[in-house]
Structure 1
Amino acid sequence: MSKRILVYGVTGAGKSTLAARLGERLGLPYHSIDDVMWEPGWVEVPDDVQRDRIREICAGDAWVIDAAYMKWADVVLERVELIVGLDLPRWVSYGRLVRRSLTRLVRRTEICNGNRESFRNLFLDRNSLLVFHFRSWGRKRARMRQWHDDPDFPETVLLRSPAEVRRWLATF
């Protein structure tokens, strides 16, 4: 059984949900990368501090994380045993992202270190998650498919629909 797992995919694909469920089912510690990257008030943690935090998590014998940003992905990829790629159609992940974000906005749900979604962050900011999804979808999809096809890479499972994700998770 793999004890160091990366769940990878575009924003809104369900990485955090799947990673938390995997951690729970397998008895592995789950680490939310948003909590590593953001301080209260949406203050981004400096890159070197992020890298140190990721290095500390990955030094452990067992973990599940829900992202790998390229500025420190090398740290994760050196230690990961299994990559689970959420290679969902754009309409699925974008629909989930919109629904999740609007629900959080209306309910004022706290996320990553007490931060909350705001109208400005979602719709007016040029770096909004809704915009970021479109900018990153193709790149992340290509990356996980490349990892899957590379025999020198750790085992990479690609899940292409919510039904595939449910069936795969049921095997644990």
Structure 2
Amino acid sequence: MKKVLILGFSGSGKSTFARQLGNAINIPVIHLDTVYWKPGWVASNKQEWDKVITMLLEQEEYIIDGNYPTSLNRRLLEADTVFYFDLSIFLCLYRVLKRRLSTQGETAIDRAGGCSEPINLLFFVKWIWNFRKRYRNFKQKKAGIIKV
């Protein structure tokens, strides 16, 4: 395991697992939210994002946490291991709500500075509810996916 992707629902435990795995096997962890978003939830433009992904994928070892569909195919091709967190929608919704209520105004360590927990819970409900429909086919693109 040298190039690891961790994918799945918001609230499924991707970031926590990434940190624990990184500590266990001594591989650097990259939370895509910290490199895609700028303070105030300003998104990277396409050219910046492509450069960042290219730079990340050139590393010899990494654990990348995050979905980001515009770069997913490239990351899947480079990865030797993929963990896909396919948990209950209701568990993930509960965890997002709990996280939102417990971290109001704070910036999590898996986010860029100046990006506190988003206020729009309706967005997260829709995002989590529709996640399987949007991402169900990526599993067919790469063998060796570990479903959690």
Place the TM-score, normalised by the shorter chain, in its bin: 0.7 to 0.9
Aligned to 1:155: 144
1:136 and 2:131 correspond: yes
Query: What amino acid does structure 2 have at the position aligned with 1:82?
Result: T
- Tell me the TM-score normalised to structure 2 length: 0.88
CA radius of gyration, larger in:
1
Aligned to 1:117: 117
> Identity across aligned pairs (percent)?
23
The structure showing larger relative contact order (alpha-carbon pairs under 8 Å, at least 6 residues apart) is: 2
Q: Closer, same or farther in 2 for the Cα pair 1:8/1:95, shift >3 Å?
A: same
Count of matched residue pairs: 145
Unaligned runs of 5+ in 2: none
Aligned to 1:4: 3
1:69 and 2:107 correspond: no
Distance 2:118 2:76 in 1: 33
1:52 and 2:46 correspond: no
Query: 1:83, 1:155 within 8 Å by CA — same for their partners in 2?
Result: yes
Deviating beyond 4 angstroms after TM superposition, the runs of 4 or more aligned structure 1 residues are none
- Tell me the TM-score normalised to structure 1 length: 0.76
Query: What amino acid does structure 1 have at the position aligned with 2:15?
Result: S
Aligned to 1:170: none
Distance 1:26 1:4 in 2: 12
Aligned to 2:85: 86
Please report the RMSD computed on the Cα atoms of aligned residues, expressed in angstroms.
Answer: 1.8
Query: 1:98, 1:130 within 8 Å by CA — same for their partners in 2?
Result: no
Residue 143 of structure 1: how far off its partner (Å): 3.2
Unaligned runs of 5+ in 1: 160-172
